[in-house]
Amino acid sequence: MELVKLSPAIKSYIWGGNYFQKFSKGISFETISELWELSLREDGPTLIDSGVNKGKSLLSAASKEDLGSLVDKYPFFPVLVKLIDANDNLSIQVHPSDEYALKNENSFGKYEVWYILSSEPNSGIYVGLNKDYSKEEISEKLYNNSIISALNFYEVKPGEVYEISPGTIHAIGKGVRILEVQQNSGLTYRLFDYNRVDKNGNPRELHISKALDVLNYSKYVPSKCKDTKYFNFEIKDVDDLTIHASEESFILIMCLTGQGNINELKFNQYDSFFLPAGKEAKIKGRGKFAFISMK
């Protein structure tokens, strides 16, 4: 396989918006919550949008050689990359560690990194507890709908990076759009969802018991995004660049700003491309790019 342009899987939830429609990302959807830009999951596979495999899923078309030799380290493909538009607050939630998830869910846990793409005035994110709490204290705040008072709120700006480790309580706030790079896991435990109901009028499912089991009750201390054992993630300003993917891993190339060509394919803002392991891509143009690969 050569370099290919990707077409994301589109997810629409009650908190989504229409920010990405203006970039021709899923224009037929009234509401877009998440665009799965790199997904080899059966519940939302990314499609190929160029070349001989156009219309096929990356899951079905990419060989082990295309993915790279590092994929053999993992029981399943280790990375999931999303664009997220929070037109309303997401639920207050937490993700389990590998240790807990493997023992209780027959799955890996979820570590994720957020790169802020854009934000409305005064919008932000909730990350971590604002002091040490006991399990009983958090349970009481959930009972009386005051859990927000226990969280840190950070107003965000484009270009900022946040690390969300397993056990860290968190939520994306209204008016924030992010690039999320995460472990390929669907495990999310909701603690609070503003008493919202789904499209059928039913309360959205909560997972309070499990969430309380995995929550980190210590005061949150912000840290710089450290290396993860699952993926490499780099943001670069580009003015013509040649990229070589090693035999160990593919590279996901996502344009965050700018326009031009990658090999013979045009790129615009928020376009994503899959560069197979062992292949080369020549970027002709200027912009800011995200480069993501296995580790």
Tally of structural domains, the chain: 2
Q: What is the DSSP string of the chain?
A: ---EEEE-EEE--TT-BSGGGGGTSSTT-S-B-EEEEE---TTSPPEE-SSTTTTSBHHHH--HHHH-GGGGGSSS--EEEEEEEESSPPPEEE---HHHHHHHTSS----EEEEEEEE-TT-EEEEEESS---HHHHHHHHHTT-GGGGEEEEE--TT-EEEE-TT--EEEPTTEEEEEEEES----EEEE-TT-B-TTSPBPP--HHHHHHH---SBP--------SSEEEEEEEEEEEEEE--TT--EEEEEEEEEEEETTEEE-TT-EEEE-TT-EEEEEEEEEEEEEEE-
In a domain, 221, yes or no: no
Residues forming beta bridges with residue 93, ordered by sequence position: 170, 190
Decide if pLDDT at 294 tops 60: yes
Whether residues 237 and 195 share a domain: the answer is: no
Note the pLDDT of residue 226. Answer: 61
Q: What is the pLDDT of residues 180-205, one digit of tens each?
A: 999 999 999 999 999 898 778 888 89
Q: Given this model, what pLDDT does residue 279 score?
A: 98
**Average predicted confidence (pLDDT) for the chain:** 94
60-69 mean pLDDT? 97
Check whether residue 112 and residue 163 sit in a common domain.
yes
* Active-site residue, selected from the candidate residues 177, 190, 196, 286: 190
With beta carbons less than 8 A apart as the criterion, state whether 280 and 12 touch.
no
pLDDT of residue 25: 61
Domain of residue 270 covers 231-294
User: pLDDT by residue (tens digit) across 199-228?
Assistant: 788 888 999 999 999 999 999 998 776 667
Query: Catalytic annotation on 177?
Result: no
Domain final residue, candidates 214, 246, 264 = 214
Please provide residue 145's backbone torsions phi and psi, each rounded to the nearest 5 degrees.
60, 35
Residues 208 and 142 in one domain: yes
What pLDDT is recorded for position 147? 97
pLDDT at residue 22 in the model? 82
Hey, what are 183's tokens?
A: 């472990």
Domain boundary among 183, 214, 245: 214
- State phi, psi for 44 to the nearest 5 degrees: 175, 65
222 within a domain of the structure (yes/no): no
Give a yes or no: residue 69 inside a domain. Answer: no
List pLDDT tens digits, range 242-266: 999 999 999 999 999 999 999 999 9
> 68, 246 in Cβ contact below 8 A?
yes
Can you tell me the distance from the alpha carbon of 169 to that of 208, in angstroms, rounded to the nearest whole number? 12
Q: Are residues 165 and 275 in the same domain?
A: no
CATH number of the domain residue 131 falls in? 2.60.120.10
* Pair (88, 170) in one structural domain: yes
157 versus 28: the higher-pLDDT residue is 157
Q: Identify the band that residue 40 occupies on the pLDDT scale cut at 50, 70 and 90.
A: very high
Q: Assess whether pLDDT exceeds 80 at residue 28.
A: no
Say yes or no: 249 and 207 in one domain.
no
Instruction: Please give the pLDDT value at position 266.
Output: 96
Q: Is residue 84 domain-shared with residue 174, that is, in the same domain?
A: yes
pLDDT for position 58: 98
CATH label of the domain that carries residue 257: 2.60.120.1030
Report how far residue 249's alpha carbon sits from residue 269's, in angstroms, rounded to the nearest whole number: 24
pTM of the model: 0.95
